[in-house]
Structure 1
Amino acid sequence: MTERPYADASSRVSKSASSTGLEVHVGSMPFALDKELLASKSAKVVALLKENSNADLSCLLHDIPADSDTFELVARFCHGYAIHMSSENIVPLICLSFHLGMDENHCNDNLLSKAVTFFEQRVLPSWNEIIKALRSSEKSLQQMMQLGLFDACLQAMIAKASDNPQHLGERITVSRNDGDGGDKPNAKRRLFALDWQEDLTTLSLQLYEPIIYTMKQHEIPLEYISASIYRYAKKWIFCCSGGRETVSIYKRRYQRNVIETLEKLLPHGRELLPCSLFFEMLRFAIELEASSGCRNGFEIRIGKQLDQAKVKDLLIPSQGYTKDVQYDIECIRRILKAFYGNYDSSDASGFIKVAELMEEFLAAVACDASLVIDTFISLAEMSMAAALGTKRNSDGTYRAIDIYLEKHAYLTEKEKEQVCKVLDFRKMSAEACEHATKNERLPVRVVVQVLFMAQLQLRETLVRAAYDDDKTGKEDEEEEEVRLEMEKMSIKVKELEKDCHEMKKEITNGSNRQRLNKGKLSLWSEMKRKFGCSTNMDDLHCPTKKKKVHPKWSII
């Protein structure tokens, strides 16, 4: 059959009424249908006609869960016209055809089977088509969940993300040089990409939340999940946020729900995102008056990598109704507590970096002319506490106090003394003490204390120098004694070598004489044997022996 053109809304209404004609309004759009053709494809229409033969069918179909475009596709199919299926209309089409009972139990040539086949063959194999289908199905979300369409999309997405996690978008790396990081996509990769990658962040929160939650359970790399969550916050909160006066209460409520949901989805690992991005999300959570659990979650994540933060990250303005406190001191205190509570490295460089960070932060806020004394003192105490155990001097704190006194020249002598109470003079270097003794901004009492500490340091230096000299003298004497002992030992060794040489010589000469004497004795023994003399030394006195005559041979 040829496709019937639908130029406008009026063309959908039949101009000639008939006994089988039916007019249905979907939304504000009228449709002229044939009851018999509609019943041949829909089991629900058949059931309605049997139960209400005399009733107006248009009244019974007023609750159709679809928009006018989707119902038009169904009407065209029932009247024998070709329909165009796409990723954008396939999910609502499946839901409506299921609602009307347009399945194989009612008709072999049914719309539901055709739509499901298209969904399985054309949508599920492609990441981009799945995103398009989900994005266009938000109005029929409940039906999609009930029919299992969402689960099918979810399983297909997990399989694709497991093979290639870049479907979620590129990672946001933590820069070691400046620590700022940021959402900086790879331009080269984008340039040579074969097709555009549909972004998961374009989905509504109702769809995005279960997708990310399930991906975390299936061990998709957390750095990709974290990057996707940040980009979602950037799209739905950061880029469309304004002051309290410009944003409606309903939009603020929605944004608050988004930031609280994203905080629950965020993994708790270290270095999954740059520290500055966590601070950005924390600021919006505070501005949107998110729950304490949400703010605390961001503070804990920041605390785990506070050693990567910058001074500008800590400049969190106070959101209280009073303007006496310019910065959120308690928030910074909780972040520091989270850092020390979660730092498990044996390397102390993290503590040193945080101590330096707090000193730089204190110097930065000291330039604020509106910073009250109590706020500055609280921050200075936190800075001094952060430096404990790092063997750092108090020069950084002294520099911040000097800046604060310079920017607040109107302070009284008593107020200046109150500011300087946090300074530990014992940990000031000699250069800092020398500068402080000439600093006219410091109170007189503080200058006296600095002079006293300088005298103590000078005395300790002199004592240490004298001790070192004495120790050096003793070491020289010990070295001289060792040298003399070594010389004595060397002489003794030489004497022993000489004695050993003499003994060896004597032993050699004695061996030669012994061999000569042995030779002589052997010759004499041989001669005695020939002469029949005994070899006994006692017999050497008798040169010969008388020959014995056997009695048998004796002469009578």
Structure 2
Amino acid sequence: MEVCCNLEVDVNGEQIFFVDKKTVASYCGKLSKLFGRSKGSLRNLKVIFQGFPGGAEGFELMLKFCYNNGNLEMSPSNVPLLYSVAEFVEMNSSISGTQNLQEQIEKFLEDISDWTWSELLNALKRCQDLCNTPLVVVDKCLDCLVGRLNLAVEASSCPSTSSPDSWALRVSCDTKSSESLKTGFSNGLWWFDELLVLTPDFVKMIVQFMLKRSFDEVVVSKFLIYYQKSKFSTATRDEKRKIVEVVIETLYVLEQNSISCKSLFSILRVGLGLNIDKCIRNKLEKMIGARLDRGSLDNLLLPSPSGMNYLYDVNLVLRFVKAFLHEKTSRTCSMALRRVARLMDLYMAEVAPDPCLKPSKFLALAKALPEYARSSHDDMYRAVDMYIEVHTEMTEEEKVKICCALNYEKLSVETFLNLSKNTRFPSMSSLQALVSEQVKLKTLLQTAKNSKSITHSCHELDECGDKSTDRAETGDRVVLYAEKLDFPDDDEKLKAHIEGIQWRVMELERVCTKLEIQMGKVMKSRVTSSRHSELKSLPWLCS
């Protein structure tokens, strides 16, 4: 039977085919509709296809199906291309009275569980090479592939603690030993290298299937980090940016504990150099901020963006702190908050010597955390002192603003004494420190007065008779010191007053120590007297 070639087909400008219009149209819904709408002569027709899946190769597969009465030998290697062609030319209606191509492919995919690992991986490689990705084939391949990976990870002895860097054996799909390895699942993480053939978009899809199957997220995060580092060796700059963006977006949906803060900072350093998308960078900053309490000073010392004259990227660190506070809204996270406060104190001390760091930025660092985050302000004081020492051009007003970030009530005695002699600090700071110290001393005074009252109430005890007078004298000394704490009206006496505060604090501490010892003896004497009937009962004030 002579075959008529009355249709010219240009496929993507690559190759021209002359085919029988009736034969092809009987299986292709798109061509059948096209010829049905044609009002002119049906002779010498020419059809031009743009974006035909697989180009000439895909069109030849379609012709084999059409000229073989709707039959074609299928395999895992040609199914992805066939399905794309079937969708493109609408071979999804049984207009010829026989089973159409799309239905045959879907029936063939029902036995996908019988495919080997290599066949699944090769099918995915073919899918990602096509412009029109056949999602039905991709989903089935990924689902089957992840199912086998899940078995491999479960069979591994320590999946969460394994590391690609510690593998003693690197295997390839082409060797018998690797095929045996896949069959026996002797190493749960052998697939790290195998999946390097996938594009970033396909890696993102396969991770989604992993999470649907409750895959170990620690393993998933390690695979993503390994994928990024391995692909970078041969990737172009644009490819690197794409890889990093996909890795960040995929890590963003994982649990916090599935990836270390150090790994996130490593990704950040790479991403900053590649100018990744701002939205994706914000996601990475939020992830780091949520784990900031697990970071280190070295992690935070990131260079400033190009065009900036200061050394470190202070704005980035401030965004980290903001993200941390947004995640840790409850005070139940006090331990994490204190770790971040300690980290910020170290960071402030590190950036303080930078001569280009503006006072407003340093003040923002000092006030980034709430006041209750720090139990002591000694480290912050040292950072502030260093900043003021380096930035000699600051005005008095700027110094006062920075010093206002300090809580002088949270300074230790040694730090307070250092502040009282520090000529670099503004005089207002010294006054605030004295006020805070006076509050401390008055608190101690109240304790001493209470101790004195108890002492006088217990003076009837024979054992304590001789000591009562000493305690009274000690109490009088405490009152005397308290009276001397009033600030002098004359500013010229301020310096002398500051110098005198040191011995007052030390003397008061000694007085309080003596009172505590004497109170202990009084209470001990009261217990002893209650046990011996020959002693008098204690007055009610001591009971």
Structure 1 regions of 5+ residues with no counterpart?
1-16, 175-182, 491-556
Distance 1:214 1:394, change over 3 A: same
Matched with 2:514 is: 469
Kindly indicate whether the alpha-carbon contact (under 8 Å) linking 1:40 and 1:107 is maintained by their aligned counterparts in 2: no
**Alpha-carbon displacement from aligned partner over 1:225-266 (angstroms, at most 9, x marks no partner):** 444555666688999686xxxx7xxx89x859x838953773
Which of 149, 159, 165 lines up with 1:185 in the alignment?
165
Residue 128 of structure 2 is aligned with which of 129, 138, 156?
Answer: 138
- After superposing the two structures, state which structure 1 stretch, 96-105 or 364-373, moved more: 96-105
Is contact 2:264–2:288 with CA below 8 Å preserved after alignment?
yes
Matching of residue 459 in structure 1 with residue 517 in structure 2 = no
CA distance in 2, matches of 1:338, 1:269: 17
Matched, 1:159 2:147: yes
Q: Which amino acid is the alignment partner of residue 207 of structure 2?
A: I
Partner of 2:293: 307
The one-letter code of the counterpart of 1:340 is K
Say if 1:233 and 1:188 are closer, same or farther in 2 by CA, change over 3 A.
Answer: closer
- In structure 2, the partner of 1:30 is 15
Report how far residue 363 of structure 1 moved: 1.0
Deviation at 1:119, TM superposition (A): 6.0
Distance 1:295 1:159, change over 3 A: same
- Distance in 2 between the 1:261 and 1:163 partners? 24
1:110-147, CA deviations, whole angstroms, 9 ceiling, x for partnerless residues? 998997787666786444533432232236565723xx
Question: What is the 5 A alignment of 1:262-281?
Answer: 262-263=248-249, 266-267=252-253, 269-279=255-265
8 Å contact kept, 1:87–1:123: no
User: Secondary structure at 1:55's aligned position in 2?
Assistant: coil
Task: Classify 1:217/1:458 alpha carbon distance in 2 versus 1 (closer, same or farther; 3 Å).
Answer: farther
SS at match of 1:367: coil
Q: Which residue of 1 aligns with 2:215?
A: 220
Kept after mapping to 1: 8 A contact 2:309/2:356: no
Corresponding residue for 2:119? 129
Matched, 1:429 2:433: no
Instruction: Name the amino acid aligned to 2:367.
Output: E
Query: CA RMSD, aligned part only?
Result: 5.4
Give the secondary structure class of the aligned counterpart of 1:382.
coil
How many Å separate the matches in 2 of 1:436 and 1:61? Answer: 82
Distance (whole Å) between structure 2 residues aligned to residue 399 and residue 238 of structure 1: 44
Cα contact 1:161–1:220 (8 A) shared by 2: no
Kindly name which structure, 1 or 2, has the bigger radius of gyration based on alpha carbons.
1
Tell me the residue number matched to 2:461: none
* Aligned counterparts, 1:474-513, within 5 A: 474-480=519-525, 482-483=527-528
1:62–1:262 Cα change, 3 Å: closer
Gaps (5+ residues) in structure 2? 172-176, 183-189, 435-494, 536-543
2:368 to 382, 391, 397: 382
**Deviation at residue 366 of structure 1 after TM alignment:** 1.1
SS in 2 for 1:156: helix
Cα distance in 2 for residues equivalent to 1:26 and 1:157: 34
Structure-to-structure mapping, 1:32-71, within 5 angstroms: 39=23, 43-44=27-28, 55-56=43-44, 59=47, 64-71=52-59
Paired residue type of 1:465 = R
Structure 2: how far apart are the matches of 1:204 and 1:24? Answer: 32
Counterparts of 2:374 and 2:382, CA distance in 1: 18
The corresponding residue for 1:361 is: 347
Contact 1:306 1:354 in 2 (8 A): yes
C-alpha distance in 2 between matches for 1:241 and 1:420: 50
CA displacement, residues 408-430 of structure 1 (integer Å, 9 cap, x when unaligned):
34445554444333333333223
- Contact 1:123–1:129 at 8 Å: present in 2 too? no
1:220, distance to aligned residue in structure 2 (A): 2.5
Which of 294, 315, 319 is residue 331 of structure 1 equivalent to? 319
CA distance in 2, matches of 1:488, 1:237: 89
1:107-126 correspondence runs (5 A): 125-126=115-116
390, 402, 418: which one pairs with 2:385?
Answer: 402
| CA gap 1:92/1:482 in 2 versus in 1, 3 angstroms | closer
Normalising by structure 2, we get a TM-score of 0.61
Cα gap change, 1:425 to 1:103, in 2 (>3 Å): closer
Q: Secondary structure at the match of 1:59?
A: strand
Between the aligned partners of 1:101 and 1:189, the Cα distance in structure 2 is 47
- 2:113–2:144 contact (8 Å) kept in structure 1: no
Distance 1:336 1:206 in 2: 30
Instruction: Call closer, same or farther: CA 1:477–1:144 in 2, change over 3 Å.
Output: closer
- The residue number in structure 1 matching 2:357 is 371
Work out the percentage of aligned pairs sharing the same amino acid. Answer: 21
SS state of the match for residue 271, structure 1? Answer: helix
